[in-house]
Amino acid sequence: MASSTVLIPPRHYLNDGYGIASWLLTRDHKRIALLYLATVTLFFFVGGAMAVMIRLDLATPAGDLVTDETYNKLFTMHGVLMVFFFLIPAIPAVLGNFLVPIMIGAKDLAFPKLNLFSWYIYVAGGLFTLYALVTGGVDTGWTFYTPFSTVSSTTNVIPTALGIFITGFSSILTGLNFIVTIHRMRAPGLTWFRMPLFLWSTYATSLINVLGTPVIAITLLLVAAERVFHFGFFDPRLGGDPVLFQHLFWFYSHPAVYIMVLPAMGVVSELVAAGCRKPVFGYPFVAFASLAIAVLGFLVWGHHMFVAGESVYSALIFSMLSFLVAIPSAVKVFNWTATMYKGAVSWETPMLYAYGFIGLFTIGGLTGLFLAAVGLDVHVTDTYFIVAHFHYIMVGGTIMGYLGGLHYWWPKISGRLYNEGLAKLSAGIIFIGFNLTFFPQFVLGYMGMPRRYHAYPPDFQVLNVLSSAGASILGVGYLIPMVYLMWSLRYGRLAGSNPWGAVGLEWTTTSPPPTENFTETPVVTWEAYDYHAPAEGHVA
Amino acid sequence: MSPEAAHHPPVQGLAHQFDSLEQQTEATTLGMWVFLVTEVLFFGGLFMVYTVYRTWYPDAFAAASHTLDITLGTINTAVLITSSLTMALAVHSAQLGQRKLIMIFLLATMALGGVFLGIKGVEYYSKFVEHHVPGPSFHFEEPQFAAHAQIFFSLYFLMTGLHALHMIIGFGIMLFMLGWTWKGGITADYYGPIEIAGLYWHFVDIVWIFLFPLLYLLGGRY
């Protein structure tokens, strides 16, 4: 750990210019990462407030807190804000932006101006969506299913769809920037198979961003245009096909799940290696598993339409392809576990989140197999089973990975250490609160409680009250890190360049790093995760 | 300014994050290719919608397609292909560092693009006069095809409109390149920007190469 003699470097990216303009016009990837950190946190708490309202309403079976219309708007805006404005950008735009150039020994991303522009696009899209929210909201669900969204709904579909359309370009351009940077900007000696696994998963995520996001963009453009001009693409009365919308929507929105979880997997690979003082077991398999998930992710969208009149043939094929995704996912889980085997396993905060991720992702992934099985899926379609499943992946997976990464790299980002005791406490609260919130929903769904209803039969109340109680614990768990991380910015102990004793280029530069990241371009002569293997001659 | 900047003598056009012009050119070229892949998927969504409805309603699509002006469409195809030629010549001149020729060919490309958009405007106007614009006032001569012909025209306007929007963005890019060349920023050592502008323009051209037969040449008319 850092000793009291650690000094803050005299010159670093945070003191390289002060004032609003030095932030809003910056081209430094590290500052842009912090701009994203501020904005995604804002959207996380707005979306979280909606979740609080939803769980409060569901505490009683009568649904007497909000009207059914308000309830529809709450779960729609919760989904839209969390998916498009928090989960998708969170890890790539915050941690990825900060780390990709540093991890490859570059001075910045390939296109720094484009990077700043991406943030502005994201903010513009967010403002559109917030405008839709404050002027009455939208009630279609985050999935915008037609023809309800194009014909029937009287709410603000167009500004919301345009907000997502605009924000999509932020994902595309960030993905483009990462792909080019990883291909062309690596430091001398840093071959593909010497890269940290976080970069592999960021690369795989970027591929999905570049290939999938334009499809949701054009699809939402069609929805908005159809509302205005009555084209009839998705309206059966005019010869259109509502299911075509579902195909186009899920062609992106299923891979989008992997946009959310792949970066978290990359983070966990880093945390596990550093937390166990060992190279990640089976490095090339973990690396290729990321690419395999990215590719397979594009071939499974049909499992969202098992009940939408899909032919039995298609359903069988999509079912089988969906099962295949389990293979690379399991490869990762097994390899992290194998990494821990006989490792110097740590119990510091980042590692707690990594344990949380592995456990919760495993539950989320295995219940995903239930849903890939056509027969069982028909039984639980549109029930709370689905809600529980994807929250295990998105909250239990992505947010655990995000928070773990944020804690692990916080000393690098801020130059200071947070309060370890509070951090461990909140990691525990989040884990307990999360399971109490979402595990009962598996049971509720299996018993037949449908999603998206604001009232339910009294038989379901006990489990719903448990879930709501869990949500309030979870909410507290998310607020505590806000407090001690902000506190640490001013009062935290100085971290020094490598508080974890970890390997990787980011730990060889100062904390916080200088604007150009390294005073001299590093030359990489070692493999990834070069934690000293047992001394030569020593039999393990 | 970082003290390290002093180590490297300034190279014209080299951005701070790159080590060499070669790396910068490779990166920007790859960036444009990745962007074009995104564009393919963006148009791909519309081509998917087109494929579905053309398969479902082949007769209505053929009837609607027959109302398009094939002569103007053919002329426009020729105009756009020629503009790709002048763009390629602009890139060639850039590689040789011939500043004047670059500007002449860029202007020629823009002029041909302008002709294309002008003709497109004439076609749009006649569709407007014939009430072939989707919406409340839509009218189609063969009533049995009216509903599905509206889907065809919706696709026609969306696809050609999006294509035209890309051309207008291309004009912006070329104006920028003209300014860059005028100021002497483009040399035989550093012509990457013209090259990637060319990539973009050729992509826009290729989209039209697909749109023309899909929209104009349906139904065994020829």
CATH (domain of A168): 1.20.210.10
Reduce the DSSP state of residue A494 to 3 states and report it: strand
Residue A389: exposure state from Cβ atoms within 10 A (0-12, 13-18, ≥19): buried
Cβ B108 vs Cβ B82: under 8 Å: no
Condensed to tens digits (0 to 9), the pLDDT of residues A322-361 reads 999 999 999 999 999 999 998 889 999 999 999 999 999 9
Would you place residue A8 in the very low, low, confident or very high pLDDT band (cuts 50, 70, 90)?
confident
At the topology level, CATH places domain B20-216 in: Four Helix Bundle (Hemerythrin (Met), subunit A) (1.20.120)
Let me know if residue A354 belongs to a domain: yes
Which pLDDT does position A534 carry in this prediction?
A: 45
ipTM, two decimals, is: 0.92
CA–CA distance, B47 with A392 (Å, rounded to integer):
36
Compute the average pLDDT of residues A491-514.
93
Compute the average pLDDT of residues B69-94.
97
Would you place residue A64 in the very low, low, confident or very high pLDDT band (cuts 50, 70, 90)?
confident
The yes-or-no verdict on residue B6 having pLDDT over 50 is no
Would you place residue A7 in the very low, low, confident or very high pLDDT band (cuts 50, 70, 90)?
confident
CA–CA distance, A131 with A157 (Å, rounded to integer):
11
Q: What is the residue type of A39? A: T
Compute the average pLDDT of residues A374-395.
95
Burial letters A173-190, b for 16+ CB under 10 A, else e: bbbbbbbbbbbbbbbeeb
Is B19 close to A222, i.e. CB distance below 8 A?
A: no
Q: Does A271 touch chain B (CB under 8 A)?
A: no
The yes-or-no verdict on residue A3 having pLDDT over 80 is no
Nearest CB among B26, B34, B148 relative to A179 is that of B34
Nearest to A471 by CA among A54, A115, A145: A54
Would you place residue A381 in the very low, low, confident or very high pLDDT band (cuts 50, 70, 90)?
very high
CA–CA distance, B42 with A143 (Å, rounded to integer):
19
**CB contacts, 8 Å: A108 with chain B:** 16-17
Which pLDDT does position B5 carry in this prediction?
A: 45
How many A×B Cβ pairs under 8 Å? 115
Identify which has the larger pLDDT, B1 or A59. Answer: A59
Which pLDDT does position A438 carry in this prediction?
A: 97
Which pLDDT does position A56 carry in this prediction?
A: 95
The yes-or-no verdict on residue A308 having pLDDT over 60 is yes
How far does the CA of residue A94 sit from the closest CA of chain B (Å)? 20
Q: Across all residues in chain A, what is the average pLDDT?
A: 94
CA–CA distance, A505 with A205 (Å, rounded to integer):
21
Compute the average pLDDT of residues A430-452.
96
Q: A169: which 2 tokens?
A: 């370009």
Above pLDDT 70, what percent of chain B? 94
Angle between helices B146-182 and B58-65 (to 10 degrees): 60
Nearest to A369 by CA among A303, A466, A435, A307: A303
Nearest to A81 by CA among A136, A32, A142, A35: A142
Q: What is the residue type of A490? A: R
Would you place residue A536 in the very low, low, confident or very high pLDDT band (cuts 50, 70, 90)?
very low
For residue A98, which phi and psi values (nearest 5 degrees)?
A: -70, -40
Condensed to tens digits (0 to 9), the pLDDT of residues B7-20 reads 555 677 788 899 98
Compute the average pLDDT of residues A243-265.
96
Condensed to tens digits (0 to 9), the pLDDT of residues A65-77 reads 999 999 999 999 9
Which pLDDT does position A258 carry in this prediction?
A: 96
The yes-or-no verdict on residue A535 having pLDDT over 70 is no
Let me know if residue A16 belongs to a domain: no
Q: How many domains does chain A have?
A: 1
Which pLDDT does position B2 carry in this prediction?
A: 43
Which pLDDT does position B4 carry in this prediction?
A: 44
DSSP annotation of A383: B
Measured torsion, CA atoms of residues A20, A26, A29, A31, in degrees rounded to the nearest 10:
-10
Compute the average pLDDT of residues A529-533.
79
Q: Does A294 touch chain B (CB under 8 A)?
A: no
Which pLDDT does position A5 carry in this prediction?
A: 65
Identify which has the larger pLDDT, A5 or A178. Answer: A178
Identify which has the larger pLDDT, B2 or A228. Answer: A228
CA–CA distance, B35 with B214 (Å, rounded to integer):
24
The yes-or-no verdict on residue B221 having pLDDT over 70 is no
Which pLDDT does position B128 carry in this prediction?
A: 94
Let me know if residue A10 belongs to a domain: no
Condensed to tens digits (0 to 9), the pLDDT of residues A163-195 reads 999 999 999 999 999 999 999 999 999 999 999
CA–CA distance, B187 with B199 (Å, rounded to integer):
18
| Residue A396 belongs to domain spanning | 23-507
How far does the CA of residue A186 sit from the closest CA of chain B (Å)? 11
Reduce the DSSP state of residue A416 to 3 states and report it: strand
Q: Where are the alpha helices (DSSP H) in chain B?
A: 21-56, 58-65, 70-96, 99-129, 146-182, 192-216
Q: B33: which 2 tokens?
A: 């290719």
Cβ B35 vs Cβ B191: under 8 Å: no
For chain B, the residues whose C-beta falls within 8 A of a C-beta of chain A are 2, 4, 15-19, 23, 26-28, 30-31, 34-35, 37-39, 41-46, 48-49, 52-53, 56-57, 134-136, 147-148, 150-151, 154, 158
* β-bridge partners, A416: A494
Reduce the DSSP state of residue A161 to 3 states and report it: helix
Nearest to A226 by CA among B120, B68, B155, B129: B155
Reduce the DSSP state of residue A450 to 3 states and report it: strand
Which pLDDT does position B8 carry in this prediction?
A: 53
The yes-or-no verdict on residue B182 having pLDDT over 80 is yes
How far does the CA of residue B184 sit from the closest CA of chain A (Å)? 22
CA–CA distance, A385 with A448 (Å, rounded to integer):
9
Concatenated DSSP letters for A281-318?
TTHHHHHHHHHHHHHHHTT-GGGG-TTTT--HHHHHHH
Condensed to tens digits (0 to 9), the pLDDT of residues A97-126 reads 999 999 999 999 999 999 999 999 999 999
Above pLDDT 70, what percent of chain A? 97
**pTM for this model (two decimals):** 0.94
CA–CA distance, A215 with A252 (Å, rounded to integer):
6
Residue B212 CB neighbours (<10 A): 18
Nearest to B31 by CA among A118, A265, A23: A118
Max CA pair span of chain A: 78
Which pLDDT does position A539 carry in this prediction?
A: 38
Length of chain A: 540
